[in-house]
Amino acid sequence: MTFSVRIAVRGYELDAQGHVNSAVYHQYGDHARWECLRAAGISIDDLLTSGIGPVTLENTIRYHRELRGGDEVDVTCAFEWGEGRTFLVRQEFRRADGVLAAEMTGVGGLMDLQARRLLGDPRSRWRALARAPEILGL
């Protein structure tokens, strides 16, 4: 089952046009990715202590519907693993009434926070850190 977190739109996230600002969707996506890691047993503090951190290399979003004040949205997070230093993250934003609000696809990696460079084999590193690796598709 795909991981999902429900997010309530906050009033200050609406911009002058009366809808959730486009950049906020990226904050929601970021939050869903961290919550997915947390559900898998990996906290931000764990990662910082271990000196590694997830980074986004590329991201594409398609906006389908506006989000307005009072809306709630379910944001999914599904990791797809290949062989190299990167992985894919697919995310759907669906309003509580079932309407698809946005779709996001990201290419991510793991960074050595000291050397500020990408680490090889992120798959094994996540698996070693996670208590529930199946939530990460591992």
Pick the stretch among 66-74, 75-83, 85-93, 123-131 that binds a copy of itself (CB under 8 A): 66-74
Residues β-bridged to residue 80: 88
The residue among 61 and 138 lying less far from a copy of itself, judged by its C-beta, is 61
Cα 95 from Cα 113, distance rounded (Å) = 35
The residue from 41, 61, 81, 90 that contacts a copy of itself (CB under 8 A) is 61
**Residue among 2, 50, 68, 128 that touches a copy of itself (CB under 8 A):** 68
Rounded Cα gap, residues 20 and 71, in angstroms: 10
Rounded Cα distance, 39 and 11, in Å? 27
x-or-dash string of contact with a copy of itself, 30-59, rule CB under 8 A: xx-xxx--x----xxx--x----x-xxxxx
**Cα gap 52→104, rounded to integer Å:** 24
